[in-house]
């Protein structure tokens, strides 16, 4: 079939025309919000190491130049560990100007879904030499159920 007869120059323009004709109701209602985009960038810019030990989980994140007051460690929804904060730009001194600026400034955030055996009541966080270490203790394993013995009576 010659598509030029129908007013289309090529199969690609035909496909584009068909896609343009899609009902507006099928299109997404909204694009990602500004907050979502900001949080996604903050999470991508905050690399972390996660280690599992026999009795705990340890999250290690580099935080050079930050004070403990600049870092927040929280638990949301009973099982989501949230590490967030903000690295502020140094105040410029008079007469000085940046020639190159490579260190990140701004908000940072990471979220980790904790496993079921994480004890959210026993979480500690220590920031030493620019490295934040968050330790989440594990719950003790549940005791195995002992079989219940039922006495058989003679009738």
The tens place of each residue's pLDDT in the chain, 155 residues long, gives 444 444 444 444 444 444 444 444 444 556 777 766 655 655 566 789 999 999 999 999 988 888 888 899 999 998 999 999 888 777 777 888 878 877 777 788 899 999 999 999 999 999 988 899 999 999 988 888 888 888 899 87
Q: For residues 82 and 59, is the Cβ–Cβ distance under 8 A?
A: no
Would you state the structure tokens that stand for residue 113, as one six-digit string?
């879904």
pLDDT at 24: 45
Domain residue extents for the chain? 58-90+104-142
| CATH label, 58-90+104-142, candidates 3.40.50.300, 3.30.565.10, 2.60.40.790, 3.40.50.20 | 2.60.40.790
Q: Strand, coil or helix: what is 141?
A: coil
Rounded to whole angstroms, the Cα distance separating 80 from 112 reads 6
Instruction: Specify the pTM.
Output: 0.63
pLDDT at 82: 93
Whose tokens are 């030029």? That residue is 4
Beta-carbon contacts of 32 under 8 Å, excluding residues fewer than 6 positions away, are 40
- Nearest residue to 138 via CA among 48, 54, 50: 54
pLDDT at 41: 59
Concatenated DSSP letters of 24-90: GGGS-S-PPPHHHHHHHHHHHT---EEEE-SSEEEEEEE-TT--GGGEEEEEETTTEEEEEEEEPPP
């Amino acid at each position: 079939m010659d598509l030029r007869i129908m007013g289309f120059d090529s199969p690609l323009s035909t496909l584009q025309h068909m896609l343009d004709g899609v009902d507006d109701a099928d299109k997404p209602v909204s694009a990602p919000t500004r907050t979502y985009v900001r949080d996604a960038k903050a999470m991508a810019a905050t690399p972390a190491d996660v280690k599992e030990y026999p009795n705990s989980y340890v999250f290690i994140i580099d935080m050079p130049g930050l004070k403990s007051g600049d870092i927040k460690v929280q638990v949301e929804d009973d099982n989501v560990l949230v590490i967030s904060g903000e690295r502020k730009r140094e105040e410029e001194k008079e007469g000085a100007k940046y020639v190159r600026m490579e260190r990140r400034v701004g908000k940072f955030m990471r979220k980790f879904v904790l496993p079921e055996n994480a004890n959210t009541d026993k979480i500690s966080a220590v920031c030493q030499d620019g490295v934040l270490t968050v330790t989440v203790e594990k719950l003790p394993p549940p005791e195995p159920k002992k079989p219940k013995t039922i006495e058989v009576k003679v009738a």
